[in-house]
């Protein structure tokens, strides 16, 4: 009787909500600073001649690209594992939690490697007198002088909050995930048929996210405060990062799902 009485007092939704409040990143504090690698080749006052500098940068970019490809492969494997967990009501919660944490770590590693590659590519483009590359975090990379000058990147990290919200939704719906109603929480702005245009490509990491290609025209249904919007593209509804798109004026006259634009930028954060 005592056990049944204790069980009846358990409020799963309340407990998970408390966990969210303790561990999730708030909408006003969802940007974190990370130290990037400072390469000797980036220093405008280094003693290297230009040809040697270009050769050294290309060598580092090649190594970075190999590391990025490996991390991308790891991310895909983890994504498949998380998908398998979500489709199995008997999966081990601890295994799912550790896999989700590893996924978060892998995504962050990818973000930082791609930011480092962007920095090096920018220096190489300047040396070769080519147009500068683009990157979603280009305006968030800055230098700070302490004892020495170091490079930092300020990256929005909405993934933890989003994942915990997904846990709440699944717990309250008996384990079922419903993307079309996943933005019903507080702090969400409702929208009609407002359109936005994808500035960068984005590869979905979860089943309830949208794949984006540069030039895609997405219908915005809801704007969430933690940096993710909810919309539809080509008949599919899902979440996508707000930093990857540009909202279009209401009189823009777009009717198609995708515009015939050149893919001038590509990034899969």
Summarize the confidence of residues 23-27 as an average pLDDT.
Answer: 39
Does the pLDDT value for residue 158 go beyond 50? Answer: no
Q: Is the pLDDT of residue 55 over 50?
A: yes
- Sorting pLDDT into bands at 50, 70 and 90, what band is 7? very low
At residue 55, what are phi and psi to the nearest 5 degrees?
-65, -40
Residues in Cβ contact with 91 at an 8 Å cutoff, skipping those fewer than 6 apart: 84, 85
The number of angstroms, rounded, from the C-alpha of 218 to the middle of its chain's C-alpha atoms is 17
For residue 162, pLDDT over 70 is answered with no
Pick from 96, 88, 109: which is nearest to 176 by CA?
88
Which single residue is written with the structure tokens 């358990």?
A: 10
Residue 24 CB neighbours (<10 A)? 19
Rounded to an integer, what distance in angstroms lies between the CA atom of residue 205 and that of residue 209?
7
| Residue 139, H or E segment | none
For 43, other C-beta atoms within 10 Å of its C-beta total 13
For the cut 70, the answer to whether the pLDDT of residue 161 exceeds it is no
Q: What is the dihedral of CA 166, 169, 174, 180, to 10 degrees?
A: -100
What domains does the chain contain, in order, with CATH numbers?
31-156 (1.20.58)
Give the predicted TM-score (pTM) of the model: 0.54
Q: What is the structure's pLDDT at 56?
A: 93
């Amino acid at each position: 009787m005592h056990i049944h009485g204790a069980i009846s007092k358990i409020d799963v939704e309340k407990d998970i909500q408390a966990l969210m409040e303790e561990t999730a990143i708030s909408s006003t504090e969802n940007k974190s600073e990370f130290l990037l690698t400072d390469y000797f080749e980036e220093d405008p006052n280094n003693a290297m001649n230009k040809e040697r500098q270009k050769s050294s940068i290309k060598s580092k970019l090649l190594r970075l690209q190999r590391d990025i490809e490996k991390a991308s492969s790891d991310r895909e494997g983890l994504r498949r594992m998380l998908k398998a967990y979500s489709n199995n009501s008997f999966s081990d919660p601890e295994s799912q939690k550790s896999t989700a944490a590893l996924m978060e770590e892998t995504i962050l590693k990818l973000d930082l490697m791609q930011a480092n590659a962007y920095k090096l590519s920018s220096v190489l483009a300047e040396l070769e007198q080519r147009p500068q590359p683009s990157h979603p975090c280009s305006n968030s990379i800055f230098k700070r002088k302490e004892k020495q000058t170091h490079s930092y990147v300020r990256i929005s990290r909405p993934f933890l909050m989003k994942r915990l919200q997904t846990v709440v939704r699944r717990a309250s719906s008996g384990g079922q995930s419903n993307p079309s109603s996943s933005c019903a929480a507080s702090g969400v702005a409702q929208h009609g048929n407002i359109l936005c245009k994808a500035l960068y490509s984005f590869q979905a990491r979860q089943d309830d996210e949208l794949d984006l290609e540069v030039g895609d025209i997405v219908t915005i249904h809801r704007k969430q405060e933690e940096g993710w919007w909810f919309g539809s593209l080509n008949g599919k509804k899902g979440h996508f990062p707000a930093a990857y798109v540009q909202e279009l004026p209401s009189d823009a006259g777009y009717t198609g799902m995708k515009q015939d634009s050149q893919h001038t930028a590509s990034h899969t954060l």
